Structures are given as C-alpha cells and as structure tokens.
Amino acid sequence: MTILKTTGLTKSYQDSIAVDHIDLDIKAGTLVAFLGPNGAGKSTTIKMLTTVLEPSSGTITINNTSDKHRMRESIGIVFQESVLDNELTVRENLDSRAQMYNHISIERVNEVIASVHAQNFSQKPYGALSGGQKRRVDIARALLNKPRLLFLDEPTTGLDIQTRELIWELLTQIQHDEKMTIFLTTHYLEEAEQADDVYIIDHGRIIANGTAAKLKEEHTQNVLLITSGDFEAIINGLTKNIAYHFTPKGLLFNISSVREGITFLNRNIEKINLFEFRQGSMNDVFIKLTGKEIR
C-alpha cells in the first residue's frame, strides 16, 4: 500500500526551479532515505510534502487524500531545530502541544513519554536536557497525533555516535510498534544503509532511486588495498580485468566481488604482508552521483 505519492511535483521561483517534476512512491511501513547535497531541493520538497509550502505544479497524496487538513492529520515532523520551550518541563511541553489537538488524551502523552524512555526526566526543564534527551522529546512531540508518516529532518545532527545509535534503536522500535512510515533526510549516509528505499535528489531532480544495495551495486566498486615486498610480481600475475593504482598506503585494486577478492588473496598469499577489503558504501554512491565539491 502506498502511503505517500507525488506526481510531477514542482516548485519554481521567478529565476529558478527548486524542485523539478519529481515523482515519489512511498510504501506504508517502510523507512525511506531522501538524500542530496546542500541546495539540491531537499528542504523545499519536505516543505511541500508537509503542506508548509504550496507547489507550483504537480500533486501530493498522503494516506489516500490530497486535502491539506486531512494530510496533516496523518503526518508528524521532527525538525532540525526544536520547536519546544526551554523553560517548560518535558511534560509541560508535551501537555501544551497535546492541547492543540482535539482528540489527544493524557494517556497518549504518557505513552509517547514511555516510548522514548523519557520517564526519568519528564519533570526537568527541556532546556536543561542533553542533546540526546532533547531529541527523544522532539520525537515524542511528533508522535502525539499517532502519525502514519513521520518526517525526520536531520534527526541526529550534532549527536555523538552512542547517542545516534540509541536514537535509531528507539526509532526502529517505535516504527514497529506504531506501524509507521519514516521519511528521513540525513547527511550521515550510513543511516541510509538501513533504508528500504533511497531517493537521491540533485539540482531539483531525482537522479537515483532504489535500495541501498542496488545503488551500491550500480554506482560503486569494492576495493582491496595491499602492502607487499614484491608489488612487481603481483602486478605481473594480474588478469587483464583487474584495475589498480598505487596510493601512499599501498596498492589499491578495484574488485568486482568478495569472491574475486578471496581468489586474488589466495593466489598471492605468500607475497602479501597486509590487506584491507572495503565494499562500496552509500558515501561512495553519493559522491559518484553528486560530485566531490562542497555546496
């Protein structure tokens, strides 16, 4: 079942096109990563999908409706910057947000506090919390209305590795418990590795779409780095289809598969001192498709 669909979604201004006829088809219950360099059109797209910005043309359907008010009932948003009050406690913040809806009970506030494991600091001022605790409360706020579709806009930016892993453990559990779809934007591309579907946008257009595994297979190569006391003998024994070049760390080969790498290592085991094998990553995919320059 499709939870979010766009057709020809476009946002143009007088002298530029920010989003250029993009089509999205997001299945219910999936984790979708929406990636792109700065200025690619990600933020503009998110604003249109969350009804903050009116499209110039094209259509958006969320949970089988194109009505803005009904679409909003189905979505939750975790913004890059918090929208909560630093002076209020966690519970006061969530209680005040719940009152903006007609149907949210005290029990639901208790549920979302428990879902992000915030019981121990629910009476603390939001401004006194750590970065990871604040992010958990931000997620709780977005869950108040039991959204079918949760938008996460750079949810782990600025958090340390341990906290990021904790946040993702919580999100995975929440997605399962709430039977929810997650639409993620992130610059930590390893987070996209776990996505069911990946869209990459650049210059306002979708330039790639598929699973992380499919994109890595299509746009990256595995590499094998070796150090040896006899590079010449290794090079002389190569088959023609293996490309290589020297680096400051050793001899680097492009390897088509793990099996080919194992075969190569077995054949040259007596000549190799050290080796490092690395499969293509989403970082490699991103750089291959969008370029190396910082924008």
Return the domain boundaries, the chain: 2-216, 221-279
- Position 255 confidence tier, pLDDT thresholds 50, 70, 90: confident
Tens-place pLDDT, residues 185-218? 998 999 999 999 999 999 999 999 999 999 998 9
pTM: 0.87
Question: Cα separation of 251 and 137, whole Å?
Answer: 49
Count of beta carbons in the 10 Å neighbourhood of residue 44: 21
Residue pLDDT, tens place only, 214-231: 999 899 988 899 999 889
Measure the CA–CA gap between 288 and 294, rounded to whole angstroms: 13
CATH code, residues 221-279: 3.30.70.250
With a CB cutoff of 8 Å and minimum separation 6, the contacts of 267 are 237
Does domain 2-216 fall under CATH 3.40.50.300? My reply is: yes
Beta bridge partners of 150: 76, 182
Cβ proximity of 163 and 125 under 8 Å: no
Do the bridges between strand 222-228 and strand 149-153 make them parallel or antiparallel, or are there none, so unpaired? unpaired
What is the CB neighbour count within 10 angstroms for residue 157?
14
